[in-house]
Amino acid sequence: MSKPLTIDEQQPQNGAPVAKSALLALGFRPFYLLASVFAALSIPLWVAQYAGYLPAALAHRPAWHGHEMLFGYTLAVIAGFLFTAGRNWTGQPTPSGGALLAFALLWVAGRLLMLTPYAIAAALVNAAFPIAVAIALAIPLWKSRNQRNYFFVPLLLLLGAAVLAMHLSWLGLVAWPERASLLAGLDVVLFIIAVMGGRVIPMFTNNGIPGTQATRHPLVEKLALGSVLLLLAADVLPAPAAVITVIALVAALAHATRLALWQPWRTLKTPLVWVLHAAYAWIVIYLVLRALAALGLVAETLALHALTIGAIGGMTIGMMTRTARGHTGRPLLADRYEIAAFALVLCAALIRVFGAMIVPDAYLSTLIGSGACWSLAFALYAIRYWPVLSRARLDGKPG
């Protein structure tokens, strides 16, 4: 029996049409590039607006920043990853060429419409994107009967429902707080990271660092994933603060135990691995802060940025680097530019969360410092990977 392919390996396309442009050959290429450019540009735009250097009406929606980082940047990375990994999982074609271009343009349209007064069009386009990605992923999963990954489809549909609910609340059509949409969307993304992290981080650790014995314990796995689903349900209801506190603390303990089983202390000399461990550690920090926020001991925004910058930012830039290298025929080794990008994302999280916590009077300064680190990190990625993502694989294989 042949061993299952990892996301770093390329599988034959089973007759899929070959894209004329390398940039449109596989999902990670356009979406990683778009996501990195957007991440680098959108945060300075928002910080300048927040600081009063740009008119407040530039971003017409009250929660533009949270919406765009979750349903813009993060969804782009998820789409690129799933279109790429989905082909490996199933041996079936995923969008490429003109179809992939259409998905990319739909995503771009969503970003542009968020800067216009066309609220209904923005709602329809932004909700359509995750739903369209869900359908495009469901087709190869169903054809191959890849039941192990069916769950991604309802998760994408949940993201579509969350973004639609957020827009409908802005339009005054439903009595649904935008905070609930953001929390539900973040919980879904957290679950995706928890699932994929559990699959790949121990494997990458053992494969990349000889002698390491990263392991998974069935009870810990169930508790870690189940607690995130409970948190999602609690946020949607919403549940009382005491319930949120208990769920978050149980989840923090489960994920801390899970991370310890992966032996993160042995990864310090392997940047492509330690960045994933560091990002996962931010999940534990987020859950602890989330419990403290429910008790009124810290601001909830600090917890949310531990998740969005530390966990999501760190995990996405780590996986964007690894999968881009693996799927373009390059060695799985980070150079100094990539290591700098990893460090800058982690610094952005530290400044935004702990800087604002320790020196609350310097809130604007921590905002600017964190934003600068984030923007520079993704600018480095975009510049470094523009030629990588827009050119054919070095080994001549498709993808």
Q: What is the pLDDT of residue 4?
A: 40
Are residues 95 and 122 both part of a single domain? yes
Q: Is residue 233 part of a domain?
A: yes
Are residues 209 and 123 both part of a single domain? no
| Domain region containing 66 | 20-176
Can you tell me which residue has the tokens 């899970």? 258
Distance CA 27, CA 308 (A): 23
Domain boundary among 147, 176, 205: 176
Task: Give per-residue pLDDT as tens, 162-194.
Answer: 999 999 999 999 988 889 999 999 999 999 999
Are residues 200 and 306 both part of a single domain? yes
Are residues 40 and 138 both part of a single domain? yes
pLDDT of residue 47 exceeding 50, the answer is yes
Q: Is residue 52 part of a domain?
A: yes
Are residues 73 and 172 both part of a single domain? yes
Task: Give per-residue pLDDT as tens, 187-222.
Answer: 999 999 999 999 999 999 999 999 999 999 999 999
- The tokens describing 63, both together, are 């929660």
Are residues 324 and 189 both part of a single domain? yes
**Is-cis flag, bond preceding 238, omega within 30?**
yes
Task: Report pTM.
Answer: 0.93
Task: Give per-residue pLDDT as tens, 227-269.
Answer: 999 999 999 999 999 999 999 999 999 999 999 999 999 999 9
Are residues 200 and 224 both part of a single domain? yes
The answer to whether the CB of 267 falls within 8 A of the CB of 277 is: yes
Q: Is residue 352 part of a domain?
A: yes
Distance CA 221, CA 211 (A): 23
Cα 16 to the center of its chain, rounded Å: 27
Are residues 384 and 352 both part of a single domain? yes
Q: Is residue 272 part of a domain?
A: yes
Distance CA 115, CA 48 (A): 15
Domain boundary among 160, 176, 192: 176
Q: Is 115 helix (H, G, I), strand (E, B) or coil?
A: coil
Domain boundary among 176, 207, 237: 176
Q: Is residue 12 part of a domain?
A: no
Angle among Cα 144, 146, 150 to the nearest 5 degrees reads: 125
Percent of the chain with pLDDT over 90: 84
As a dihedral over the C-alpha atoms of residue 386, residue 84, residue 287, residue 180, rounded to 10 degrees, the angle is: 90
Q: What is the pLDDT of residue 60?
A: 53
Which contiguous run of DSSP H or E holds residue 51?
none
Phi, psi of 334 (to 5 degrees): -85, 135
Are residues 355 and 373 both part of a single domain? yes
Are residues 163 and 192 both part of a single domain? no
Q: How many structural domains compose the chain?
A: 2
Q: Taking the CA of residue 43 as centre, how many other CA atoms within 13 Å lie in the half-sphere pointing to its CB? A: 27
DSSP classification of residue 398:
-
Are residues 274 and 384 both part of a single domain? yes
Q: Is residue 11 part of a domain?
A: no
The H-assigned helical ranges of the chain are 28-50, 64-67, 75-90, 97-113, 119-143, 152-170, 178-208, 218-236, 241-261, 271-294, 300-305, 314-326, 336-350, 356-358, 363-389
Are residues 146 and 133 both part of a single domain? yes
